[in-house]
A = this chain, B = another copy of it.
Amino acid sequence: MRKHSLIVGGAGFIGTNLVKKLLSIGNLVTVIDDLSRGRKEFLDAYVDQKEFKFIEFDVSFSCDDAFNIATKFCQIDEVWHLAANSDIPAGVLNPIVDLKNTFMTTFEVLRSMKKFNVKTIHFASSSAIYGDLGQVAITENIGPLQPISNYGAMKLASEAQISAACESYLDRANIFRFPNVVGVPATHGVILDFVFKLLKNNNELNVLGDGTQQKSYLHVSDLIDAMLLIIKHQVDKKMNVVNIGPIDEGVTVNWIANQVINKINPNALIIYGIGNKGWVGDVPRFIYSTELLQSFGWKPKLGSSEAVIKAIDEIILKS
């Protein structure tokens, strides 16, 4: 019997990479997406396959109707919930963006899972739930959790709601705390931003902040592999929370800016802003522990610098 995976938010950057992977290992796949950030053309390669179904639907008010359609296709074995606002500054300006797209999607997905008796959820959480803990190694069990963006707050709220659901009707929740993920088809992020800016104006590149923000980056191919490994790993808890990220300490925004201009116009001028935060709610630097994930035998194929360089090439190729 084939496993039927329902991917909420499956037409976005990570979702479409996941669709490809899950189809390749023989799953039936249904994507629900409102196409607010995702794009239907990202799924063009799969729409004619009988193992694949796409449902255009906004799940933030109720997703019973979409679950109903998906269930008629085949009984749902697991839900991947990737739907969220991915524009952190937009959420800081207007908290309703993250309320609706990041939290209410989770709330309604859980309600439908209870109703349709689906007991397994895989959830795309984020390192943003940790807030700014300074220079300590951020392990999964660290506290306090004081997110500094509405995005981080609504991801933490989602985890909390899933945790309560584990106590009452879920059998398993895998909570993946994502790092910065790069690759294609990117819909946002620093690399896409830099490439777009430079393709528009070859002569200069404006950088938010002073460029010293250092972050680690994971290529989407490594992210997908990590999630599938975590799911297979036996744990005796219903709620299984794992940081996903590269093992290195990352690269600076300044370094990324230089890589991008080297590819497009090495003579372009980089113009820096002030301060080590790109925006309110941006965490300038943190040490993200992936020891738990490594203990499962995982290591990324690409480090932060390789992932960024690969993503730059992929994004330029698609632009």
A residues neighboring B (CB under 8 Å): 92, 95, 99, 103, 107, 110-111, 129, 131, 140-150, 152-154, 156-157, 159-161, 163-164, 166-168, 239, 241, 280-281
- A163 near B143 (CB under 8 angstroms)? no
Give the Cβ gap from A218 to chain B, nearest Cβ, in Å.
Answer: 22
Q: List 13 A-B contacts (CB under 8 A).
A: A131-B163, A140-B144, A141-B143, A143-B144, A145-B160, A148-B163, A148-B164, A149-B167, A153-B160, A153-B163, A153-B164, A154-B157, A154-B161
**Which of chain B's residues have a CB closer than 8 A to the CB of A150?**
161, 164
- A281 near B153 (CB under 8 angstroms)? no
The closest CB in chain B to the CB of A103 belongs to B157
- B160 near A156 (CB under 8 angstroms)? yes
The closest CB in chain B to the CB of A128 belongs to B164
Asked if A168 meets B92 with Cβ closer than 8 Å, knowing A157-B160, A160-B156, A239-B146, the reply is yes
Task: Pick the contact of A146: B95, B148, B163 (CB < 8 A).
Answer: B163
**Which of chain B's residues have a CB closer than 8 A to the CB of A143?**
140-145
Q: How many copies, total?
A: 2
Separation of A95 and B115 alpha carbons in the complex (Å): 13
**Which of chain B's residues have a CB closer than 8 A to the CB of A107?**
95, 99
Separation of A73 and B278 alpha carbons in the complex (Å): 40
**Which of chain B's residues have a CB closer than 8 A to the CB of A159?**
146
Given contacts A147-B160, A156-B160, A160-B160, 11 further A-B contacts (CB under 8 A): A95-B111, A95-B161, A140-B143, A140-B144, A150-B164, A153-B161, A153-B164, A156-B157, A157-B160, A164-B281, A167-B280
**Which of chain B's residues have a CB closer than 8 A to the CB of A131?**
163
Separation of A110 and B92 alpha carbons in the complex (Å): 13
Asked if A161 meets B157 with Cβ closer than 8 Å, knowing A143-B144, A145-B143, the reply is yes
Give the Cβ gap from A70 to chain B, nearest Cβ, in Å.
Answer: 21
- A281 near B168 (CB under 8 angstroms)? yes
**Which of chain B's residues have a CB closer than 8 A to the CB of A153?**
157, 160-161, 163-164
Asked if A241 meets B144 with Cβ closer than 8 Å, knowing A156-B156, A156-B157, A157-B103, the reply is yes
The closest CB in chain B to the CB of A173 belongs to B146
Separation of A26 and B273 alpha carbons in the complex (Å): 48
Separation of A75 and B244 alpha carbons in the complex (Å): 47
Separation of A168 and B94 alpha carbons in the complex (Å): 12
Separation of A103 and B160 alpha carbons in the complex (Å): 12
Asked if A152 meets B140 with Cβ closer than 8 Å, knowing A157-B103, A239-B146, the reply is no
The closest CB in chain B to the CB of A130 belongs to B143
**Which of chain B's residues have a CB closer than 8 A to the CB of A239?**
146
Give the Cβ gap from A176 to chain B, nearest Cβ, in Å.
Answer: 14
Separation of A145 and B241 alpha carbons in the complex (Å): 11
